[in-house]
Amino acid sequence: MPQSPSTNAPAPSAGHTSRPYRRLFAHPGTRAFTLANLTARLPMGMFSVSAVVMIAGTRGSYALAGAVTATGLAATALVAPWTARLVDRYGQARVAVPATLCAALGSLALLLCVRYDAPAWTLFAAYAATATTPNTGGMSRARWAHLLKGDAEALHTANSFEQAADELCFMLGPVIAAFLCGTLFPEAGTLVGVVLLVTGVLAFAAQRSTEPPPWAPTAAGTSPLRAPGMPPLLAVCLAMGAVFGSTEVVTIAFADAQGHRTAAGAVLALQAAGSCAAGLLYGRLRLSGPAEYRYVWCIAAMTALLTLPLLAASLTGSLPLLCVALLFAGMATAPTMITNMALVQQRTTEGHLNEGMTLAVTALLGGIACGSATGGWLAEHLSPAAAYGVPVTAAAAALLIALATGAVGSVRGRVNSG
């Protein structure tokens, strides 16, 4: 069984509801592991953009760049759950450090293959080797769940902060990657990303006081993949991942077609900025009712807002208008993902929390791989503007899956049982 949360954690103050984030970081050790985790997480927003810019710039093919990143993400989707299971079994520090070093070697191999014009197949092999990258966001959320066990309101705030942190990393990551690749040399984004990842994971692993204890085999329950309600939730994650993957590649292609390749990171950052702001605001809300009901409405809002970039690109072809459209389109992302992670935590069996959250991320990565490849192909063979139909279609598919499967089934069950 897990250790109980620290008994020296501060008690909620009378005015904690107006300052939920200050209350959150009053827990000992939370600021240290959060800072380290953010350092490790920032490259997650850099690697794929760096790879696309690096490969497309040297090989002249967005289709190849999209296919390479899709291969790496697909490999991660296969390997990540096993890495997460090892983290649950043996602890974060013992598993995350060697896994990160293996992934770093894969990124460096990709850099060298591009730098020295190696055959195309080596790009796929090198990027696939990065699949051992641990789910740093999941490990951070697992620490919050350990520290805040029994405090649902504080855990909601923590999940909201973590999603906002994800969006912040995906907001700054593409900007940093595009700037480094465009102003220094094509491989600069990948190189800096490797340094940040290794440094951040080493610092995160050193924070032992907040690390959840490993689980003994006898304490482990059913695999999260077999937990009631998880398969439909993962199917929705798969479709939502296609939204993210296609949007990224198509936006880079659209900016390049406008003659502003180096601005692609800033354009993507606006979408993440909208999501980050929405996530922080969402974390301050005191929610009621089942999360499944909110989940469907969040996905519906995402589907509706994603039509804005399609219209801006297709009807105007204006990059500034596309920036505004992406800013608004991003506002539904964080609430959707926060609710998604809340449902994952509810449905994951005891002893498998990191594995359960990694399965959700794995489904997202699988969708990102499909969306990246599809978006890159359509952007190259049709037009970047037309390719913005891919994220809209993927979001609509996520909504249909949520409505047709167990994502809302438990809501109906609760109503009927009442």
Produce one character per residue of 10-46: b if its CB has 16 or more CB atoms within 10 Å, e if not: eeeeeebeeebeebbebbebbeebbebbbbbbbbbbb
Predicted local distance difference test score (pLDDT) of residue 23: 83
Q: Is 385 within 8 Å of 314 (Cβ atoms)?
A: yes
Q: Is 327 within 8 Å of 271 (Cβ atoms)?
A: yes
Per this entry, what is the length of the chain?
418
Predicted local distance difference test score (pLDDT) of residue 393: 93
Q: From its phi and psi, is residue 200 left (phi > 0), alpha (psi between -120 and 50) or beta?
A: alpha
Predicted local distance difference test score (pLDDT) of residue 13: 40
Enter the DSSP assignment of 9.
S
Compute the distance between CA of residue 50 and CA of residue 248 in angstroms, rounded to an integer. 12
SS3 370: helix
Predicted local distance difference test score (pLDDT) of residue 11: 41
Spans in the chain with pLDDT lower than 70: 1-18, 216-227, 261-262, 287-289, 349-351, 406-418
Biggest alpha carbon distance in the chain?
Answer: 66
Predicted local distance difference test score (pLDDT) of residue 160: 83
SS3 210: coil
Query: What's the pTM value of the predicted model, to 2 decimals?
Result: 0.72
Q: Is 41 within 8 Å of 200 (Cβ atoms)?
A: yes
Please, what are the domains in the chain?
31-214+225-417 (1.20.1250.20)
Full DSSP string of 282-336:
HHTS---S-HHHHHHHHHHHHHHHTHHHHHIIIII--HHHHHHHHHHHGGGHHHH
